[in-house]
Structure formats: C-alpha cells, structure tokens
Amino acid sequence: MTHASLPTTLPFSLRGQHLVGQEMFKVMERAQKLERQGKQVYHLELGNPRMAPPPDIVDATIEAIRAKHVGYAPMGGLLELREAVADRYRHRTGHEYEARHVAISPANLLISQFLDLTCNPGNRLALFTPAFPSYWAAASHIGLDVIAVPLTAENGFHLGEAQIDEAIAARPKAVIVNSANNPTGAVYTRPMLELLARRCEEERIWLLSDETYGELSFGWPFFSLASCPTPQAVVLSSFSKLFSIPGYRTGYALAHPDVINKLALSTSTLISCLPLFTQLGCLAGMSVMEPYVEKVRSHCNRVTAACAEAINRSGLLRCAAPESGFYLFVDISAVGLEDMAFCRRLLDSHQTAVTPGRSFGPAWDTAIRIATCGQEADVMEGVRRVIALSQELGGIRVAA
C-alpha cells in the first residue's frame, strides 16, 4: 500500500470538517469520467457559457502575456479596472462611485470574504431560498447558522414583504439577496429591494446583494442596490457570465471604502492578488460590454424560453418562467425520484448532467437545476433527455 492511499490519522480543523464544496462540480467530475470512457455527455449542470467571449478580451489577454504582464497586481485589483467599474456604476446610478469603492476579486471568493469579514462562528445568516450553493458552502465553512426563508413557485419565486419580515425577525448578522436569481431566474422588484436595504440599515444588519445575473435580465427591469448605497451593503457581480469567461475568475464588489480596504486585505491574505493579464483582458472588454451583453441576453431569452416551454409541455415536469440568466429550476416531484437519484439515473442512463435541487437548500430535494448556456443543440438535446427520463419513470417514488 502506498503512502498516498493511507488515510490520514490527524484530525482536520472544524473549518476543514465543515467544507462541503458545490455539488455541481462533483456532478461535472462524474460526467467527465464518463467522457474519458468515450461517452458523449450533455452538460447542463454548470453555468459555463459556451458563447465566444469578445475578441477584445481574448486579444488583450494574449497581448498582456506576450508583454510579460505576468507579475503581481495590486491586492485590491488593477486600478484602471477599478476606475472603469466605478465609472460605469456612476453613470448608471448617478452616485459618485470611485475606484476606492471597488475591489476586484473572484465573485465566488467574495461571498466567503464578505461572510468572513462580517460574521463570527455561530452568527445567523438569512438566505432567501432556493439559494446559490456557494452561500451554503461558505456559511458551513465559517460556522454560521443559516436561516432559510423560502420563496414559492406560485409567485415565480419573487421576494415579498412577508419574506423580508421573516428574514429580519430572525435577527441575523447578515442577509444575502440574489437578484437576478440563480437558480430560479427571478428578478426582484425595486420596491422590495429598497425595502430590504432600508430594513437592514435600520436593524444594523450586513447585506450582500449578489447581482451576477442582473444585466442578463430580459423579462423584468433589473434594479441594482448600487442605486441606493448604504454603509453596511455590499454589491457583488462578475465578469464570468457577462463576458462568457468563467475561467478568468474575475469579479468585483462595490461598497464603502472601509469594506473595500478589508476585502483587499482579505485577498492579499488568501491569494495575494489576481493575475494582471486577466484583469487587463477584462479592462479591454469594458468598452464593448453593452453590445456584447445584449447578444448574451438575447441568446439567453430565446434558448431558455424554448427549454421552459418544452419542460412545461412534458406533462410531469414544471418550471417557473425565468426572467433573467440561463437557468431553469425544475419541479420533478411528479416523477417518483428525489433529486439525487434522478440526477444519478439521468447521467448513467441518458448521459446528461444536471444539478440536484438540494444543492440550493435541503428543502428542495424534489427539484433540479438545468443550465441552458451551452451550445444550443446540445442544450436542447439534454433537455429532451431530461424529459424522456421523467416520462420513462412515470410515478414510482424512490428515495435518494
């Protein structure tokens, strides 16, 4: 027996024991194992856009590498990129954003950084569910008590005053709101978001507004909480989905300068900095963002609508019509399998990968999430296979 095959005899820290990761990456690894065996797999498990990114970004990135811009960058992000982000939000909101209000860091990491900076182990975190898996994973790692506030399919998973009251009544240290939403595609209304921000300010509760998919809204006007900044609110977004460059791992936060300084110190502590060449690529993309995002938005609207229509015609599956992004949160309760068993069966017998609903909260074990951002033909074939399995199963109930 080799040393590498022996189990460790030393205990991990509590934080190490609480690492749960994200189920969709585990699904992807199982799918890739099948692909290495020569099987074709239809990938609907990850929000991994397959549209070609803007040539300006690719060219600027390659040019930066050739120019040997491969050294360290400022811990808070490339100043020119921070200035470009601030300038964009200044023009969009009318508020005087400057580079000192912006930190550049991977969006997924910013979630953990925000919670690490604002919460102590045992504090409460309020999530409106279904909620993005990284929120749950980061909360588990830090040792937070998650207060799940469920939204309902009956009203399109929209945020309402009753859910805001429930979240605030739990007296959390922090609240995370995600509009436009992953996994439901719901875009929350301006009055509800303003109410949430006001209540958090009144009750001295930290608020993270994850707006990664906001600019991909096609069914409802998107409202950014950057339009009503408060000292305890942080707005998060990402270039991954806007520019179809998830591998760049480049996002940003807008917040009070005191928060931005702490985020920069956190980035310096955890990863030192982001690569210069990816930030220079994103900087080049800022000048072509509007026309490119419009193309992405139009593509999302068309493909997601076609998939939702097919699912809701299937007779067994149901989903609310998304208003943004490229996800469908599908109710599989009539199929007879819980989410984990359904996903395993789907991958093994129909070579199609999707994400189990419980990834978005333990109460959602009769749902799956489908990502529609792959090549259109592959997405439509994957959805056809999801429907085919549901119709084959009919009505038996099998636990995971």
How do residues 46-70 score in pLDDT, each as one tens digit?
A: 888 888 999 999 999 999 999 999 9
Distance of CA 21 to the CA centre of its chain: 14
- Check if the beta carbon of residue 326 is closer than 8 Å to that of residue 373: yes
Q: Amino acid identity of 152? A: T
Return the bridge partners of 10, or none. none
Q: pTM for the full model? A: 0.93
Q: % helix / strand / coil in the chain, to the nearest 5?
A: 50, 15, 35
Q: How many CB atoms lie under 10 A from the CB of residue 145?
A: 15
Predicted local confidence at residue 360, as pLDDT: 96
In this predicted model, what pLDDT tens digit does every residue of 340-384 receive, in sequence order?
999 999 999 999 999 999 999 999 999 999 999 999 999 999 999
Length of the chain: 400
Q: State yes or no: pLDDT of 2 exceeds 70.
A: no
Q: Which of 223, 244, 184, 103 is nearest to 370 (CA)?
A: 184
Measured distance CA(55)–CA(92) in Å, rounded: 25
Instruction: Report how far apart, in Å, the C-alpha atoms of 218 and of each of 8, 127, 318, 325 are.
Output: 50, 24, 20, 8
Measured distance CA(163)–CA(153) in Å, rounded: 14
Q: State yes or no: pLDDT of 235 exceeds 60.
A: yes
- Check if the beta carbon of residue 43 is closer than 8 Å to that of residue 386: no
Measured distance CA(151)–CA(35) in Å, rounded: 37
| Those residues with Cβ within 8 angstroms of residue 353's Cβ, 6 or more apart along the chain or in another chain | 27, 28, 30, 31, 41, 42, 43, 44, 45, 343, 346, 347
Predicted local confidence at residue 395, as pLDDT: 53
Strands ordered across the beta sheet of 318-319:
318-319, 327-331, 367-371, 355-356
Predicted local confidence at residue 5, as pLDDT: 65
Measured distance CA(91)–CA(51) in Å, rounded: 28
Measured distance CA(280)–CA(179) in Å, rounded: 28
Q: Could you give the domains of the chain? A: 12-52+291-390 (3.90.1150.10), 55-288 (3.40.640.10)
In this predicted model, what pLDDT tens digit does every residue of 126-167 receive, in sequence order?
999 999 999 999 999 999 999 999 999 999 999 999 999 999
Average pLDDT over residues 71-99: 97
In this predicted model, what pLDDT tens digit does every residue of 204-215 receive, in sequence order?
999 999 999 999
Average pLDDT over residues 295-301: 93
Is the torsion defined by CA of 178, 183, 187, 191 positive or negative? negative
In this predicted model, what pLDDT tens digit does every residue of 3-45 receive, in sequence order?
666 676 788 998 889 888 888 889 889 988 988 999 999 999 9
- DSSP, res 157: T
Average pLDDT over residues 242-254: 96
Tokens of 203: 């009750």
| Mean per-residue pLDDT of the chain | 94
Measured distance CA(87)–CA(92) in Å, rounded: 9
Predicted local confidence at residue 352, as pLDDT: 96
Is the torsion defined by CA of 334, 338, 343, 346 positive or negative? negative
CA atoms in the 13 A half-sphere facing the CB of 221: 5
Which SS3 state, helix, strand or coil, does residue 192 take?
A: helix
Distance of CA 64 to the CA centre of its chain: 28
In this predicted model, what pLDDT tens digit does every residue of 301-350 receive, in sequence order?
999 999 999 999 998 999 999 999 999 999 999 998 999 999 999 999 99
Q: Which of 241, 243, 251 is nearest to 271 (CA)?
A: 251
Predicted local confidence at residue 396, as pLDDT: 46
Predicted local confidence at residue 92, as pLDDT: 94
| Those residues with Cβ within 8 angstroms of residue 377's Cβ, 6 or more apart along the chain or in another chain | none
